[in-house]
Structure 1
Amino acid sequence: MAPPAQSHRSPSPSQPSGKGEVSDLKMQLRQLAGSRAPGTDDSKRELFKKVISYMTIGIDVSSVFSEMVMCSATSDIVLKKMCYLYVGNHAKYNPDLALLTINFLQKDCKDEDPMIRGLALRSLCSLRVANLVEYLVGPLRVGLEDGNSYVRTVATVGVLKLYHISATTCVDADFPTKLKHLMLNDPDTQVVANCLSALQEIWSLEASKSEEASREREALLSKPVVYYFLNRIKEFSEWAQCLVLELVAKYVPSDSNEIFDVMNLLEDRLQHANGAVVLATIKLFLQLTLSMTDVHQQVYERIKAPLLTLVSSGSPEQSYAVLSHLHLLVMRAPMLFSSDYKHFYCQYNEPFYVKKLKLEMLTAVANESNTYEIVTELCEYAANVDIPIARESIRAVGKIALQKYDVNAIVDRLLQFLEMEKDYVTAETLVLVKDLLRKYPQWSHDCIAVVGNISSKNVQEPKAKAALIWMLGEYAQDMQDAPYVLESLIDNWEDEHSAEVRLHLLTAAMKCFFRRPPETQKALGDALAAGIADFHQDVHDRALFYYRLLQYNVSVAERVVNPPKQAVSVFADTQSSEIKDRIFDEFNSLSVVYEKPSYMFTDKEHRGPFVFSEELGNLSIGVESASNVVSTQMIEANDNDLLLSTSEKEESRGASSNGSAYNAPSIDVSSNQLLATHSTQPSVAIDDLLGLGLPVAPNPAPSPPPLKLNARAVLDPSTFQQKWRQLPISVSQEYSMNPQGVAALITPQSLLRHMQGNSIHCIASGGQAPNFKFFFFAQKAEESSTFLVECVINSASCKAQLKIKADDQSTSQAFSAFFQSVLSTFGMT
């Protein structure tokens, strides 16, 4: 059992403060240390329980370390376990104290009781103190040769722990060779399994260092070793069987006869009660027969019954994991479960995540023969009191309709949903009707007749409202009230908080204007005027674009906004075939459950943007970007040895500003807003026609060009370090921060996101309250000139000390002013 992580919470008023209680415990433990009186062990148990309890809630009990060690001189195994737990928890954080435990742990490794020998050896290997490595070699060597299988089991895992503490010591002591001997000769299957697990990890890490280790790793996949494990597989535990099956999955048989021999030998594993063993066997069968098309298809048929059994007989968590694998298989062989679709009907007592996945399965297995039954079942769910499931069921009906299965009946069912007068049902249905009309324009007459009866006041969800507005603009000639509905929505422009809806309103007003000009003229003018004044960058730019199109040529504007359209044949898949194949290769892993390859959630560039490591203390690493992260490590945050080592580098993409989904190429520092292209002289005719009444502003006097920063600036950490050493300090000053910004520093990452939103990128950061240190860089948009910033913030004094270095010294003051203005808005609502 691993020691509990140390808690850093302050005890609540109801919890002991720690000081007085710990002192009392220390005195009582000292009194009992040398006592041989009857009942001493019972008293020690109570005191040990209190120590463990205090340790768990975060009270510092390191002062009783020596007393705990003295009291461990007992034959009571319960006391031994609690003492080992305490020692293992404190040794990592107090290496000096760990040295005190060596003597009694080594003594316990020679105890007559094999349980105590094993526990002591496990605790000794769990100290994880590099200075104590020399004390591990002897007990481990003895433990590997112990007559008790439990001690040997612990020793095999201890070898792996030793390797991670000091790989050189482990290899020099020839422990891998001893593990290999035990693996092939030990009668205990758990010892064999532990040896296999440890050797796989050791040789995979050593393979890059020596050819011999690489050969040893390949020897694990040799025919004699693989057959040795296969012949003993029934003796192993479930965990060990999965380990063996994973090993065999990497083995390449010589011919088809050998493939059939392996499959026949493992046939009964498909009926195993443990789901992990079944899935590991299925993975092996699928991989062995990939090159044998007919046999591969037969394997699909063979594994169907075991998988369906696991879905119905296991816990909800197991059902979800198995259903995820079923979904993956159905994507590769759609006809596989088409006749077993009833197994995926939802049960009333199933959790939401299982029901949702079952709905996806029903969508995946739908074909011409079962569509009617599946859609009928899904329509029942649409009337369910469980609103999330009702939404998902409506989406499932729409997905089936987009697959061209009995479209006539499905469209009728969807239109009936609109008559249910439930807000969430109407919202989901409107979104689906929009997609159906894009693929099946021939259904526009029937759909629009029903949609036209829906009041826009009853549709509040942004996506649904956007879908309704799209239909109002696209089919304005068929919907009699379309111009007036749009006009009422535009009149409430200020009350519409969704940028998506406002964008659709602009486009729909333009489309309606070209089809019914007299009725839409005023509404379009109001929409353009409101859009140009909108705070959202996308809405502002689209309104300005439409306005200039109309200025240029109305006919061209109509061709741009309302071109001839063809029906959508296939909607884009969210995953490429390459990604799906990669997930299939990682069958029986979390990749299938997450629906993404392992590198997307294990590799550094796909992890969260800010990583905290115990080895680096409170050092914050990383630069946040829209889809990529540059992970860096700060070695020393000073002028002489500033940074940095990077393990992997990618271009950092800047985050959008103003909440917009698009990135402008540059930032106007003087106004802190995205630059808009200079417009030409407004057309008075268009202004009069649309009732905009925009005044013609006089030409302003020429001003010096504003400082523009590159939102996608990239700087190599080594280049940053070199520039910092070479460039002189351009600006050095102290700046007072606002209290809100200082309070927001409780999460330093928020400052990095705030600065990056203004094209100032963080390359490294560190420190803890009250002193924080950040290193930023920025680049001019049209030049390669770079600004480097060291920012030290003291949260106690609310002061920020800035040092700025620049390639172009003349722009340092302008950049300094901009940097301070951005910093001053940090933490403000």
Structure 2
Amino acid sequence: MASDSKFFSTSRKGEIREFQLDLNSANPQKKKDAIKKIIAAMTVGTDVSQLFSDVIRNMQTDDLEMKKLVYLYLINYSKSEPDLALLAVNTFVKDTANLNPLVRALALRTMGCIRVDSITEHLCEPLRRGLKDPDPYVRKTAVLGVAKMYDISPDLVVDEGFIDMLKTLLGDANPMVVSNSVATLMEIQAVNPGQEIFVIRQEELNKLLAALNACSEWGQVFILDALATYHPADADEAERIAERVVPRLNHANSAVVLSSVKLLLLLLNYMTNPDSVTMYCRKMAPPLVTQLSAQPEIRYVALRNINLVIQKRPGLLQSEIKVFFCKYNDPLYVKMEKLEIMMLLVEDPNIAQVLAELKEYATEVDVEFVRKAVRAIGRCAIKLDNAADQCVDALVNLIDNSQVNYVVQESIVVIRDIFRKYPHKYEGIIVKLCDKLESLDEPEAKAAMIWILGEYSDRIENPDQIFETYFVENFHDETPAVQLQILTAVVKMFLKVQHDTQPLVHKVLKMATQKSDNPDLRDRGFVYWRLLSASLDTAREVVLAPRPPITAPTTTIAPELLDELIPQMATLASVFHRPPETFITNAKLAVPKAQPGMAAPQMELTSGADEPIEGATSGSGDDAARREAVAAAAQAVAEGDLLPGLASLAAPAPATAAQAAGLVMPTPAPVAPAPVAAPAAAAVPVTAEGALPERRPTTVLLAQRTAKGFQLTGDFVLRGGVLGLDMLAENLSTEVIPPEFEFQFNKNGFGVVPSTMTLPTALTPGKSVSVFVRCDLQPGHQAPWDGADPRTLCTVPMALSNAFTGVHFFNGTVSLLCVTTPGASIERPAFAERFQALGEQAEQTRILERVYPLETCLGLLKARNLFEVARKRVEDLVIVYLYGTTRVFESEFFVEAAFRPTPAGTLACKVSVRSKPEGIATLAADSAAILLSMQ
């Protein structure tokens, strides 16, 4: 109330004491005023927690306003005073049985908001009564109380049977109770994606559809989102649901409209009648257009969702392109999104209107918007062959008449792409482009212009002079991208126009190879120089080879990602155009099951900001060879060898026809490249056995002090796919040790048995020798496992006997990754389904602060028979999914390894393994952690 503003006056010294006196006064009005002053002080940040016990004494009152104020105070300070808050429990419980439903609901809501375990335990019985309360207001409040209790104590909610009570309330007569029950169940389901807590069946479907019309707007959103998870049995059922949802498209709330559109789009996947699909698409168009008349923020959200809708159903808004034309008072972010949608909708019938709009946009003042408008003209030219002439005329007009330099430069960049699409068709405008050479100052525009000059150097007069004047003189001041383009363009010019161009190409090659610190530039310079020195014909085949045609994409989102984003419409995921797990903190991998008629979502989809995923390999031999080649190249860079075999360039070669004609410069002498630091991600070479080259056996099996100076160090390894015990035998005594040994294993968890151990020769004093004892797995040699500590499976009891050392007993440890099945594989959809079905309860996670480089880690895992299913990049995070099976228990395990660079320049890793039985996940996680960690 306006009169209550007096309670927010500046605090005075001794005011807390006055509050205490007033709270204990016999005058009810004084108590109420004191409570209001305390709440006002609490609101402005004053600490009034010392009044906690005095405020609690005023809970038992019939004044509803005062009770609300006291409850508000308790919510705020209960965490800091949990013991005193327990004193209020009796009053809370008493209030939940009050005759006034408002008091009952207020007590339930307040108890749920007080996040103190001691109070939560006392909430169960009042909450159970509230869920059965005759008043719907109390029931809907109690339903939300279950959600709050689940957040604090999930096990308590399950044990008390509240989830089953919520499912019963889905048939409540009050629609508000139904919608709140749906919201609570959906929230609990979202926290447990691997469990079927809330699955809509035919009975629940009818109840939700019945409550849909009577709910509040936010209740309708909850129900619509829940219905989006339902899979209709056939096309008739899908159409029946769609008929009930269509009226929601006319709702005034944008959230209801977008949720309805989302549900209809999903239902269209089940419809088989083309006329029905067309009808519902036609009904969705006007409500979506209506959203563009809302305030700017809502407009932007609507546009981002419309972008998804258009890419899913391209014809839905084809005739409504005019509504996406930008208005003068649209914010920049709205204009940019409208422009993107226009590019998706532009076709031959409407290109004239769109082109007229884009010309107008190119004259506006927003630099970023103008640049995108110019690029849009180029996209239209590439997308629509019949409109290419109109688009090129528009770009030439901008170059001739624009007084703004960035418009000219952006136009040149766009024209470069048009030349790629339509080679030798618009050569007449090159002269106009050359007139703008002096105005070029942006690297991208320079690179585009240089490409054009190199590509059409045989159609230009004195191209060598143009290069010399405008680009070569300042070669070392240009960006690397421009330098690379200059080098390539000059070589193209030499191959096309050989007359008087040899000095210039020789100069550029020399600057690139001898005076540049950029390894990419040096490498390309050496390659060109070697090509030109060997054969001009070969050089032409390589440098002037036909390029693949470019196309304008009809969509900007991969189909698989689009199928994943459509069910996320009206959420942040649809605004970011990214799956929720890529931007929600601590989100777990959750891959939805494919719906009938929809493509199965893949885990190697494009990641944030439309960045293509790295790898997404299938584990084929070609992919493996590629990764090994990349690792070898990275190692070469680390060692400073940028071009193996470069020294051979200095050797005289037989004169070719080109050299005899004087067209090719002499072969260059090798130039020692500048030292290049090894990149942080340079792969460490991995041997065929999956061991690092310098790794030696580290576990002391038999110590010298117990075996008369004979010491045995060994580890179980996979060598060439063969399980064995890699050992180092050392003679630290003064006598010769005979080479024959008797070597036996007792029964062990994996059933490992050894072959005979024999040294190559007798071991003389001070000598050592490496021994590899081949092992096998025999089911009859397995020790029984009671399902307790899974690490006991890895222990192998051993016995060793020798004429010199005598008999000794010791233990070894075999890693789970040494008993994996070679050649195990799985399809990506099956991996995603099984990974999700196992759930978090079957997961073991290890955090590794410092691991080997990425490709080295993957090489180590591959050597242990872990099959790489998919790989994706999310900003600086690389997530790899791997699959393996064991030869012993015939169980499979699923690995999610997330690699992230650390501030120290190293690589950290989070390894998560899911398996059944869960003990296998523990062993696999431990083994991977030991394998990948850098000591």
TM-score with structure 2 setting the length:
0.61
- For residues 154-213 of structure 1, what are the alpha-carbon distances to aligned partners after superposition, in whole Å with 9 as ceiling and x for unaligned? 21111122223223322222222332333323x43212211222234446767956xxxx
SS in 2 for 1:170: helix
- For residues 468-516 of structure 1, what are the alpha-carbon distances to aligned partners after superposition, in whole Å with 9 as ceiling and x for unaligned? 11111111112225323322322213322x3222221221122122223
Q: Does the alignment pair 1:149 with 2:129?
A: no
Q: Report deviation, 1:392.
A: 1.8
Question: What letter is aligned with 2:184?
Answer: A
Q: Does the alignment pair 1:447 with 2:414?
A: no
Residue 815 of structure 1 is matched in structure 2 by none
What does 1:405-484 correspond to in 2, within 5 Å? 405-419=386-400, 420-455=402-437, 457-484=438-465
Q: 1:197 aligns with which of 148, 171, 183?
A: 183
Q: Report deviation, 1:667.
A: 5.4
Instruction: State the distance in 2 between where 1:67 and 1:530 align.
Output: 84
What does 1:80-229 correspond to in 2, within 5 Å? 84-85=71-72, 87-92=74-79, 99=86, 102-103=89-90, 105-106=92-93, 108-110=95-97, 114-185=101-172, 187-202=173-188, 214=196, 217-218=198-199, 220-222=200-202, 224-229=203-208
Q: 2:366 aligns with which of 358, 375, 386?
A: 386
Q: 1:350 aligns with which of 323, 330, 348?
A: 330
What does 1:562-573 correspond to in 2, within 5 Å? 562-565=544-547, 567-568=549-550
Q: Does the alignment pair 1:242 with 2:221?
A: yes
SS in 2 for 1:433: helix
Residues 545, 354 of structure 1: CA spacing in aligned structure 2 closer, same or farther, 3 A cutoff? Answer: same
Residue 637 of structure 1 is matched in structure 2 by none
Q: 2:278 aligns with which of 276, 297, 309?
A: 297
SS in 2 for 1:384: coil
Q: Report deviation, 1:310.
A: 2.4
Residue 34 of structure 1 is matched in structure 2 by 24
Residue 399 of structure 1 is matched in structure 2 by 379
**Contact 2:228/2:567, CA 8 A, preserved across alignment:** no
Q: Does the alignment pair 1:580 with 2:558?
A: no
Question: What letter is aligned with 1:535?
Answer: D
Residues 436, 26 of structure 1: CA spacing in aligned structure 2 closer, same or farther, 3 A cutoff? Answer: same
Residues 427, 85 of structure 1: CA spacing in aligned structure 2 closer, same or farther, 3 A cutoff? Answer: farther
Q: Does the alignment pair 1:316 with 2:296?
A: yes
**Contact 1:452/1:479, CA 8 A, preserved across alignment:** no
Instruction: State the distance in 2 between where 1:24 and 1:389 align.
Output: 60
What does 1:16-27 correspond to in 2, within 5 Å? 26-27=16-17
- For residues 226-276 of structure 1, what are the alpha-carbon distances to aligned partners after superposition, in whole Å with 9 as ceiling and x for unaligned? 223323322110111122233334445555554444444444322222222
What does 1:545-624 correspond to in 2, within 5 Å? 545-565=527-547, 567-568=549-550, 574-602=556-584
Residue 259 of structure 2 is matched in structure 1 by 280
- For residues 306-328 of structure 1, what are the alpha-carbon distances to aligned partners after superposition, in whole Å with 9 as ceiling and x for unaligned? 2222223x222222233333333
SS in 1 for 2:248: helix
Q: Does the alignment pair 1:680 with 2:647?
A: yes
SS in 1 for 2:454: helix
Question: Root-mean-square deviation (CA), in Å?
Answer: 4.5
Question: What letter is aligned with 2:634?
Answer: S
**Contact 1:667/1:709, CA 8 A, preserved across alignment:** no
- For residues 2-60 of structure 1, what are the alpha-carbon distances to aligned partners after superposition, in whole Å with 9 as ceiling and x for unaligned? xxxxxxxxxxxxxxxxxx989956544433332234434324322332233226xxxx7
Single out whichever of 244-253 and 291-300 deviates more from structure 2: 244-253
Q: Report deviation, 1:463.
A: 1.6
Q: Report deviation, 1:349.
A: 1.0
Which structure's relative contact order is higher, taking Cα pairs within 8 Å and 6+ residues apart?
Answer: 2
SS in 2 for 1:711: coil
Residues 51, 262 of structure 1: CA spacing in aligned structure 2 closer, same or farther, 3 A cutoff? Answer: closer
Residues 85, 555 of structure 1: CA spacing in aligned structure 2 closer, same or farther, 3 A cutoff? Answer: farther
Instruction: State the distance in 1 between where 2:145 and 2:259 align.
Output: 27
Residues 428, 628 of structure 1: CA spacing in aligned structure 2 closer, same or farther, 3 A cutoff? Answer: closer
Residues 432, 32 of structure 1: CA spacing in aligned structure 2 closer, same or farther, 3 A cutoff? Answer: same
Residues 356, 481 of structure 1: CA spacing in aligned structure 2 closer, same or farther, 3 A cutoff? Answer: farther
Q: Report deviation, 1:87.
A: 4.2
Instruction: State the distance in 1 between where 2:24 and 2:219 align.
Output: 44
**Contact 1:149/1:188, CA 8 A, preserved across alignment:** yes
Aligned residues: 652
Residue 596 of structure 2 is matched in structure 1 by none
Q: Report deviation, 1:433.
A: 0.5
* Gap runs ≥5 in structure 2: 1-9, 590-610, 615-629, 654-658, 701-846, 862-901, 907-935
Residues 40, 380 of structure 1: CA spacing in aligned structure 2 closer, same or farther, 3 A cutoff? Answer: same
Residues 596, 140 of structure 1: CA spacing in aligned structure 2 closer, same or farther, 3 A cutoff? Answer: same
**Contact 2:573/2:579, CA 8 A, preserved across alignment:** yes
* Gap runs ≥5 in structure 1: 1-19, 608-625, 630-661, 700-705, 729-772, 787-818, 824-829
What does 1:782-797 correspond to in 2, within 5 Å? none
Instruction: State the distance in 1 between where 2:113 and 2:903 align.
Output: 50
Instruction: State the distance in 1 between where 2:432 and 2:499 align.
Output: 26
Single out whichever of 196-205 and 299-308 deviates more from structure 2: 196-205
SS in 2 for 1:776: strand
Q: Report deviation, 1:74.
A: 5.8
Residues 778, 310 of structure 1: CA spacing in aligned structure 2 closer, same or farther, 3 A cutoff? Answer: closer
Instruction: State the distance in 2 between where 1:90 and 1:346 align.
Output: 51
> Percentage identity across aligned positions?
29
Residue 711 of structure 1 is matched in structure 2 by 682
Q: Does the alignment pair 1:373 with 2:334?
A: no
Residue 542 of structure 1 is matched in structure 2 by 524
- For residues 586-638 of structure 1, what are the alpha-carbon distances to aligned partners after superposition, in whole Å with 9 as ceiling and x for unaligned? 4444443323344544596899xxxxxxxxxxxxxxxxxx9999xxxxxxxxx
Q: Report deviation, 1:467.
A: 0.7
Instruction: State the distance in 1 between where 2:188 and 2:488 align.
Output: 62
Q: Does the alignment pair 1:666 with 2:665?
A: no
Instruction: State the distance in 2 between where 1:521 and 1:606 align.
Output: 60
Residue 715 of structure 2 is matched in structure 1 by none
Question: What letter is aligned with 1:679?
Answer: L
Instruction: State the distance in 2 between where 1:473 and 1:363 align.
Output: 30
Residues 228, 694 of structure 1: CA spacing in aligned structure 2 closer, same or farther, 3 A cutoff? Answer: closer
More helix by share: 1
Q: 1:493 aligns with which of 475, 487, 498?
A: 475
Question: What letter is aligned with 1:246?
Answer: D
What does 1:29-68 correspond to in 2, within 5 Å? 29-37=19-27, 38-54=29-45, 65-66=52-53
Question: What letter is aligned with 1:442?
Answer: H
Residues 708, 319 of structure 1: CA spacing in aligned structure 2 closer, same or farther, 3 A cutoff? Answer: closer
**Contact 1:434/1:471, CA 8 A, preserved across alignment:** yes
Question: What letter is aligned with 2:480?
Answer: A
SS in 1 for 2:201: coil
**Contact 2:300/2:337, CA 8 A, preserved across alignment:** yes
Single out whichever of 291-300 and 125-134 deviates more from structure 2: 125-134
Q: Report deviation, 1:379.
A: 0.6
Question: What letter is aligned with 2:23?
Answer: A
Single out whichever of 404-413 and 283-292 deviates more from structure 2: 283-292
Residues 697, 310 of structure 1: CA spacing in aligned structure 2 closer, same or farther, 3 A cutoff? Answer: closer
Residues 178, 413 of structure 1: CA spacing in aligned structure 2 closer, same or farther, 3 A cutoff? Answer: same
- For residues 529-565 of structure 1, what are the alpha-carbon distances to aligned partners after superposition, in whole Å with 9 as ceiling and x for unaligned? 3333433332333233333434444443333222244
Larger Rg: 2
Residues 606, 172 of structure 1: CA spacing in aligned structure 2 closer, same or farther, 3 A cutoff? Answer: closer
Residues 51, 395 of structure 1: CA spacing in aligned structure 2 closer, same or farther, 3 A cutoff? Answer: same
Residues 30, 712 of structure 1: CA spacing in aligned structure 2 closer, same or farther, 3 A cutoff? Answer: farther
